[in-house]
Amino acid sequence: MSTNAGPDLSHGKPLDRLVDLKTTYEFAALLFGPPVFANNPALNEIRRTLRAQETTSKIFSMEPLMADQYAPFHGIALEGNDPYARFQIRLFGRLAYRVSLPNLSFDHRKIAYTQELTTSVETRG
């Protein structure tokens, strides 16, 4: 008899949209530094949305994704600008969300950060 020790993502509430927006914003702040804190209408609206905990905000979109199998890693990536900033957040290798910021683009190459959960090895590139 085999036992599946992976997380069961088939039950419960989906991840709150603000968690994805906050994770995306903090990743952008780590990547780009001071420009993310600038007085910019789109960035100001993201910060206002996070402070107000406004889950119906139209300043971003979130697309749920799902891989076929679990894998022991978490990751976040800047997928690029096509034509606006898109990020992907991946949990347990399987559950993922694409966060699009239609009023922003970043002058930066595609980049990803992952953490292997079994070894704690971090990869950036």
Examine residue 78 and state whether it is found in any structural domain, yes or no.
yes
The mean pLDDT of the chain is 88
Examine residue 70 and state whether it is found in any structural domain, yes or no.
yes
Examine residue 11 and state whether it is found in any structural domain, yes or no.
no
Domain of 49?
17-124
**Confidence band of 49 (pLDDT split at 50, 70, 90):** very high
Examine residue 4 and state whether it is found in any structural domain, yes or no.
no
Examine residue 6 and state whether it is found in any structural domain, yes or no.
no
Cα-based torsion angle of the residue sequence 80, 94, 119, 16 in order, rounded to the nearest 10 degrees: 80
> Can you tell me the distance from the alpha carbon of 119 to that of 103, in angstroms, rounded to the nearest whole number?
38
Examine residue 55 and state whether it is found in any structural domain, yes or no.
yes
Examine residue 8 and state whether it is found in any structural domain, yes or no.
no
Q: How many domains does the chain have?
A: 1
Burial class (CB in 10 A: 0-12, 13-18, 19+), 24: buried
Dump pLDDT digits (tens) for 23-42. Answer: 999 999 999 999 999 999 99
Dump pLDDT digits (tens) for 73-117. Answer: 999 999 998 889 999 999 999 999 999 999 998 888 899 999 999
